Structure 1
Amino acid sequence: MKPTLTAKLLQTLAPWRNASAWHIAFSGGLDSTVLLHLLADLAKNQSLPPLQAIHVHHGLQAAADAWPAHCQAVCDAAGVSLRIMPVQVQAGASLERAARDARYQAFAEAIAPGELLLTGQHRDDQAETLLFRLLRGAGVRGLTGMPVQRPLGEGWLARPLLDVSRAELETYAREQQLSWIEDPSNGDSRFSRNYLRHQVFPQLTARWPQAVNTLARTAGHLAQAQELLDELAQLDVQAAQLPSAFPWLALPSLALAPLRDLSDARQRNALRYWLAPLTPLPDSEHWVGWNTLRDAKADAQPVWRLADGQLHRCNDRIWWVPAAWSEFSDTALSWPHPQNPLQLPGNGQLYFSANAPEGPLSIGYRQGGEVMEVPGRGRRDLKRLLNESAVPGFIRGRLPLLYQGSRLLAVANLARASTGQGDDWQLHWAPPTCDQGLS
């Protein structure tokens, strides 16, 4: 016997029965109306997490002003609370994408840790997504379509109707005598997805009646292929995660040599996996930046600029440097109480091990031409000392320098660039990390 919509929903949501709350993305359209009705009906005889509906009001058309009242009436009848969230849609090349970004930003803000957002996308939506992305030249990851679940904000998003056709939803809605909103913009074929829905898919299904099911199944096959690629990437990235010579520099980095041993395709696969949480990735035409960085001379310090930061190569290692890394104040600071840690504006914290040297002490940053007295070695140029320690170029400008009056005493974290000896003292710097807002 073919499982009912209720049975499908319960099976899909079984892993989330212990979530602290379920939120329903409720536009008032057919898909979300059926989802709301199913869940409200289930809650009458099943132990479910608390339900709340969220209606995002985009304000893009006059007709939409009446939708919150409709959604409120539906929720009142179902016994489900409703939260209405107005948003501002930023102008851009794609109104569809801008509205989607605003909508999901609102959802992310609405759900707390351990909570779940449920959306009503169905099998036809999945087929449209696959064809749309195929026409845009997406890779395997893009062609996997919409995942059944993914992280969202501090919680999760789930699409429990992805294996259900729009026809099944319509049948259920008419049997239950549900009313829903028909968005006038859904008939506007100037929007890409509407064009596919109203112009392309009717012709596809006229010739191949199972086209929607086939495309949705293809997305599933590609999702399995992506899982295998991710497993391979995990192994390759793990092999390149060798210890850094600068353990205090808590930025993502990889040893370059293990990556060089891989084929070009495996290199890109590993880097896509590693960079995905850090920055939007470039299209295939702009991956030449990786080749340039990888193949530069050994003494070069090339940079590959990406959307949210830069990839640097220093001493046969690649480092991810977030865009916000340059946002710090290099103004000199006095340190009147060196027995206490010193907070550096936008640049972490300084502290001494053992007793601090006598004052007056201050902190500055490299300007060029600095010289310091190193025990047993005499006067040395700071540039040479940094080269000897192989300090990555991108960090040199924000390495704190300790001064006693006008005398340079130490470079933070570099024992070879310090006047401290034995157990006298050492200057330690805890730089900002990606978790502190640099990503």
Structure 2
Amino acid sequence: MLGALAQAVERLPPARRWLVGLSGGLDSVVLLHGLAQLGGRVGSPGLRAVHVHHGLHARADAWAQHCQVLCDALEVPLDVVRVDARPHRGQSPEAAARHARYQALADQMAPGDALLTAHHRRDQAETLLLQLLRGAGPAGLSAMPRWQPHGSGWHGRPLLDMDRPMLEAHARENGLVWVEDDSNGDLGLDRNLLRHEVMPRLRQRWPSLDTTLARAAGLQAEAQELLAERAREDLQTLRGEAAGTLSIPAIRALRRPRQRNALREWWREKGLPAPNQNRLEALLQQIRDVGPDSGLLVTWPGAEVRGYRDSLHAMAPLPLLDPASVWSWDGIRDLALPELGITLSAQEMLRLHGLEPALLEPPLTVRLRRGGETCRLRGQTRILKKLFQEAGIPPWERDRIPLIHAGDRLAVVWGLWCCDLPAGAGRR
């Protein structure tokens, strides 16, 4: 196995350091042991193990201790990272644990690091079948890539071309000890049902099943690469006037398959999850039918898409805000407004608006738009809503712009306008 592992890591990009995701199970134990044995044979970088402690199993502490014993024997440093893997509403326990695990692993990475995990050929075959049963397209059927960007470095799977029996043989030959997670036998989980009930029967009929499915995944990956290339070309013609947006009329001009393909690539660029097929079709229907000011909005877990003036915007779901919220500000210390994703500071006020907040008429209060506000600009009183419309500010952004009041007067629309103030107010 060591020869195959050496060849596999040579095909991966260079790295400053290898971080091995160590669960304590057979696969990750074999991977760590093999990399430690290779040592300088492949000019390996620094080696470190990371064990993610989910805290969901009664034996979780014992598993972490087992990993520590193994790493001590191999003289490999180990980091044990505890995470909160409880699922959110509507999220499966498996998805929550997986998300928490990969986020924790990414947090341990420094620029140039490689995260190495022990996925092998059977894992690849199972993933392909699971994705097929979920109705996935080429992106999902590509299953797991050999390597991909992750965190501040990349994530590689050097065992992907190896069969599970090869790993078991290496473990026996070297007297390795590993832990068994009894949840792996729970047939109520889709992957376990495939692994223990379905795949063995398929292998009896088609002995080369794992190799064949891995090859099919590779072909899907090639097809997906071509689709992504076409999507990037289409996106160049779909860009809207505002940065990060797409033109709704330009999207309408494409056939449906190219619309879907381009939108999926757009969400991938933004780091947003893609919707399921029903949500995607609902979005395309609105794009086709609605007018420029109809309030186009489609949401799904982790993302939402909104339309304004023939432009399509995509973002993480916006938190609900209380329009009656009021914050007091002394004009000296920074005022963090996490609900708005912004921090107000005297330095930034001076840079943006040429005002020193400490010199404005007290008290200083920060509010949200409720409707009916006016701002006097160059001697003319203007309705704030009209100013926002003229500036092309989308409605959902208008409600999140801090309005700074000095006394009972609107003084600043943060980042946009400084309303007329009494002579010398706010300035030395």
TM-score bin, normalised by smaller chain = 0.7 to 0.9
Post-superposition shift, 1:157? 1.8
Please state if 1:198 is matched with 2:200.
no
Measure, in 2, the Cα distance between the counterparts of 1:64 and 1:335: 49
AA at the equivalent of 2:370: Q
TM superposition shift of 1:371: 4.1
User: Normalising by structure 2, what TM-score?
Assistant: 0.81
Aligned residue number for residue 286 of structure 1: 279
Secondary structure, counterpart of 2:312 in structure 1: strand
Name the CA distance, whole Å, in 1 between partners of 2:355 and 2:63: 66
Match of 1:108 among 106, 109, 117: 106
Structure 1 residue aligned with 2:385:
383
Cα offset for 1:59?
4.7
Query: In the alignment, is residue 209 of structure 1 matched against residue 207 of structure 2?
Result: yes
1:266 partnered with 2:258: yes
- In 1, Cα distance between equivalents of 2:403 and 2:55: 53
- Separation of aligned partners in 2, 1:32 and 1:44: 20
Q: Cα deviation per residue 1:186-213 (whole Å; 9 max; x = unaligned)?
A: 3333332221112111211111111111
Q: Which amino acid aligns with 1:47?
A: G
Q: Which amino acid aligns with 2:135?
A: G
Equivalent positions of 1:316-331 (< 5 A) are 316-324=310-318, 331=326
Give 2:304's aligned amino acid: Q
Cα 1:384–1:57 shift into 2, 3 Å: closer
Summarize deviations over 1:378-397 as a string: whole Å, max 9, x none. 55433334334443212222
Q: Check the 8 A contact 1:17/1:48 in 2, yes or no.
A: no
Matches within 5 A, 1:22-37: 22-37=18-33
Question: 1:355–1:26: structure 2 CA closer, same or farther, 3 Å change rule?
Answer: closer
Amino acid aligned to 2:155: L
Task: Decide whether aligned partners of structure 1 residues 332 and 352 sit closer, same or farther in structure 2, where only a CA change above 3 A counts.
Answer: farther
Instruction: Give the C-alpha shift of residue 46 in structure 1.
Output: 4.3
Q: 1:143 aligns with which of 141, 145, 149?
A: 141
Question: Does the residue aligned with 2:272 lie in a helix, a strand or coil?
Answer: coil
Residue 437 of structure 1 aligns with which residue?
none
Q: How do 1:66-215 residues align onto structure 2 when only pairs under 5 Å count? A: 66-90=62-86, 94-215=92-213
* Aligned equivalents of 2:196, 2:207: Cα separation in 1: 15
Given the superposition, is the C-alpha separation of residues 84 and 144 from structure 1 closer, same or farther in structure 2, using an over 3 Å criterion? same
Which SS does the other structure have where 2:71 is aligned?
helix
What TM-score, normalized by structure 1, do the two folds share?
0.79
Q: Distance in 1 between matches of 2:57 and 2:355?
A: 66
Alpha-carbon spacing, 1:419–1:211, altered in 2? closer, same or farther (3 Å): same
1:213-246 C-alpha deviation (Å, 9 max, x unpaired): 11111111111111111111111222222442xx
For residues 248 and 303 of structure 2, the distance between their equivalents in structure 1, rounded to whole angstroms, comes to 19
How far is the alpha carbon of 1:36 from its aligned partner?
1.8
Bigger drift between 11-20 and 114-123 goes to 11-20
Deviation for aligned residue 1:101: 3.1
Deviation for aligned residue 1:373: 4.8
Q: Any idea what the Cα deviations from partners look like across 1:259-297, whole Å, max 9, x if unmatched?
A: 221112211211111123443222101224313441212
d(CA) in 2 for partners of 1:216 and 1:236?
A: 30
CA distance in 1 between counterparts of 2:125 and 2:197 reads 14
| 1:292-344: CA deviation from partner (whole Å, max 9, x where unpaired) | 4412123323222232343221111112343346559853667868xxx9867
CA distance in 2, matches of 1:359, 1:98: 49
CA drift of 1:161 comes to 0.6
- CA drift at 1:159: 0.6
Which one is further off, 121-130 or 226-235?
Answer: 226-235
Once residues 26 and 324 of structure 1 are traced to their aligned partners in structure 2, the CA distance between those partners, rounded to angstroms, is 36
Q: 1:126 to 1:411 in 2, by over 3 A?
A: same
| Deviation of the 1:131 alpha carbon | 0.6
**Correspondence for 1:20 among 16, 21, 24:** 16
Change (3 A) 1:374 1:55: closer
SS at match of 1:34: helix
State which drifts further: 326-335 or 114-123: 326-335
Match of 2:370 in 1: 367
Q: Is the 8 A contact 1:19 1:49 kept in 2?
A: yes
Return closer, same or farther for 1:268/1:174 CA change in 2, 3 Å cut-off. Answer: same
C-alpha deviation, 1:6, in angstroms: 2.8
Decide which moves more: 341-350 or 22-31: 341-350
Computed over aligned residues only, the root mean square deviation of the Cα atoms, in angstroms, reads 3.5
Cα deviation, residue 140, structure 1: 1.9
Contact 1:145/1:219 (<8 A) preserved: yes
Q: Is the 8 A contact 2:352 2:415 kept in 1?
A: no
The 1:332–1:222 alpha-carbon spacing in structure 2 relative to 1, beyond 3 Å, is same
Count of residue pairs brought into register by the alignment: 408
